[in-house]
Amino acid sequence: MLRRSRLLQAAGSCALAALCVASLPAAPAEPRRRVVLLSFDGVSGQRLERLLAEPGKLTAGGFRRIAARGFSASRSVPPTPALTAVSHITIATGALPQSTGIVANTMLDRSKPFGATMSGFDAPIRAETLWEASRRQGKRVGVVYFPGADGTSPARTADWALTWPGTPATRGRLQGVPLSAWQPVGDSPETTYSPARRAVLLMGQSGHSLTLTAVDATDDGAVNYDHLRVESETGAAQEVRTGDWFPVEVRSPESRTGAWCRLMALAPDLSKVEVYLGPLGHNTGYPKEFVREVDEKFGFWPGVGDKETFGAGSEHPELYVEQLERLAAFATRVQVWAIARPDWDLLLCYQSEVDSLSHEFLLVDPGQPGFTWERASRFADFVDHAYAIADRALDVIDRALTPEDTIFVTSDHGMTPIWTEIFPNELLRRAGLVRLDARGRTDTSSRAVAVVDGAIAHVYVNGNSDPALLEQIASALRELKVRGESPWERIVKRSEAGSLGLDAPESGDIIALARPGYHLSRRMPDPATPVGLPSEYGAHGYRNVYPEIQACYLAAGPGIAKGHADSINSWQIAARVAAALGIEPPRNAER
């Protein structure tokens, strides 16, 4: 504005203004401010700092370069509870959960019969978000997977977005192909020295299928099939050998849809053939033309890791890592392409691999079930590798930026090892507060219900709460001891939760937070027990005071002073992003 008024003064002082203006030097173009906010789910600032200090780790150099060029903090303090939806919405608004209304990943849905829940990723956000504040001030916002801007209402809509796809159409599974399924065929499209045999595999209940032809490419007089020719519903046939991953794309009118599959075993005589059929997925987002462009350029959504099939307890945990590498590579390619687009000022990006691999492989404490030093060492490499995947992605993304761009890199929480699972609804059932229906679920006539995520239980009262009932709930939880110690960090009434940032109408009447090591389950255990073994090794969702739970923060670009701090708060990030973009921060943001 200042520059323009000076220009007008200069023009007005000239007697022959119209002629004079033409000879004035052109005003320098306003530097175009662009800001990328990139969140790596589950990156602990503490672990990141340790890896950065170790030679030979994080060799791609993404994190190191940004830290050297700009500002870094050893940790970013997440909100309590340190959960993905809660924390991302705090980052996006600059406000605590009691102002955003997102108090957990799963919350009570008061519009439904008592006990029904809704996702904190879908629930109304009460505070203004960065995408709203930016668009209100004339800036364009692009989103690649960052939670919240899912296009489901005007307040949740950016200019364009790829959203995180929901549950896939089919689950991933290992599929054996019995000898009897291989039918002889006379029309092999490839030369084969044993009679070609063909089998058709169904993709779950989806109605889609793929055709496999067993081929023997060696002219050695023996029946020894060595590879499969795979034909999908669309695309060229592929030659697949044992250990190969291969994409299977199906016919779909709306969007490119497919699954990444793998040939697990191929016995030369076909006595054992096993194929992993990945979950069928597709890209989601808005507007439709944007998603179509992503479909055309990058293909179908590759899917998340399949921990049911390839998790820590499986024979092939390394394949879970490979699935997440594929997802990270896909997300990075799309994000680099998004950066090159001209139609955004603020770009909100998200990647998930560190969270997934840390949940699955954070086996570090001999007290954890299944601990051996050998497994712990192998799994520690997987978690370090997850950070290396993020570092590689960051390296590529950073190189795609222009010198005018500012980048903020953060995460939503870290991770801590767990060894005990607690079932709050079983504790409430024993106190006569939760009733079960015929199917063993909490009944709508229950006097209270615990809605549970990570290490937090929001316990809601059915109808009016009276002090005696609240005390009964609190003591039903408080009385639990595990190996003689209390598993609880805090048990407070909602009205006392202001110091936790959780004094919100969306919160439970009683809020219970577990200590690290303990994880809460929303399930009703069968057989009934208040305490059991967890199904994962790492968890988050605790009070935000534990160093390993805290997140990371780095920023570099024009206007970012070089430096280092021990700690920043995640609710300060929105105002910093707004300042780099040259706009007023979101209305509820901490300055």
Q: Site residues (CB under 5 A) for Zn ion?
A: 41, 84, 355, 412
Listing DSSP states for 16-54 in one string gives: THHHHHHHSPPPPPPPPPEEEEEEETT--HHHHHHHHHS
For residues 112 and 77, the answer to whether their CB atoms sit within 8 Å is: no
Q: Each residue of 83-92: b (16+ CB within 10 Å) or e?
A: bbbbbbbbbb
Kind and range of the H or E element at 417?
strand 416-417
Q: Which is nearer to Zn ion, 42 or 142 (CB)?
A: 42
Strand partners, 260: 247
Q: Which is nearer to Zn ion, 87 or 521 (CB)?
A: 87
Q: Which is nearer to Zn ion, 38 or 294 (CB)?
A: 38
For residues 68 and 554, the answer to whether their CB atoms sit within 8 Å is: no
Cα atoms found within 13 Å of the Cα of residue 396, Cβ hemisphere only: 16
Write down the least CB distance from residue 412 to Zn ion, Å: 4
Q: How many CB atoms lie within 10 A of CB 148?
A: 26
Q: How many CB atoms lie within 10 A of CB 386?
A: 27
Q: Which is nearer to Zn ion, 216 or 355 (CB)?
A: 355
Torsion from C-alpha of 434, 436, 442, 443, nearest 10 degrees = -90
Write down the least CB distance from residue 237 to Zn ion, Å: 40
Write down the least CB distance from residue 354 to Zn ion, Å: 9
For residues 242 and 287, the answer to whether their CB atoms sit within 8 Å is: no
Q: Which is nearer to Zn ion, 413 or 576 (CB)?
A: 413
Write down the least CB distance from residue 326 to Zn ion, Å: 20
Q: Which is nearer to Zn ion, 159 or 412 (CB)?
A: 412
Comparing every residue's Cβ against Zn ion, the nearest one is: 84
Q: Which is nearer to Zn ion, 46 or 442 (CB)?
A: 46
Q: Which is nearer to Zn ion, 552 or 581 (CB)?
A: 552
Write down the least CB distance from residue 584 to Zn ion, Å: 28
| Residue 203: closest CA among 131, 268, 143, 252 | 252
Helix (H/G/I), strand (E/B), else coil: 531? strand
Write down the least CB distance from residue 369 to Zn ion, Å: 23
Write down the least CB distance from residue 544 to Zn ion, Å: 13
Write down the least CB distance from residue 147 to Zn ion, Å: 9
